[in-house]
């Protein structure tokens, strides 16, 4: 499957945190740093995410903010 987004990284779920409506996932991208993702708890359930799962992280380039000193 191909995705219309510039940024696709493979990582491993490290932590899942559930709220009522929203949930948060911490993902380790090997040899890099961590990425955090927030989604509805419904999506969290659909994905059945747990620590150790391998996932792909997708970010549209338009959502990436660049800063420079």
Residues that bind its own copies (CB under 8 A): 1-7, 9, 17-25, 27, 29, 31-40, 42-44, 46-49, 53-69
Smallest distance, Å, CB 12 to its own copies?
11
**Of the two residues 1 and 51, which places its CB atom closer to its own copies in the complex?**
1
Smallest distance, Å, CB 37 to its own copies?
4
Q: Kindly provide the b/e burial profile for residues 13-39, where b requires at least 16 CB atoms within 10 angstroms of the residue's own CB.
A: beeeeeeeeebebbbeeeeeeebebee
Smallest distance, Å, CB 1 to its own copies?
5
């Amino acid at each position: 499957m191909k995705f219309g987004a510039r940024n696709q990284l493979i990582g491993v779920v490290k932590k899942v945190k559930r709220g009522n409506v929203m949930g948060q996932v911490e993902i380790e991208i090997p040899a890099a740093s961590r990425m955090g993702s927030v989604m509805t708890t419904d999506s969290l359930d659909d994905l059945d995410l747990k620590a150790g799962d391998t996932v792909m992280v997708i970010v549209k380039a338009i959502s990436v903010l660049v800063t420079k000193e």
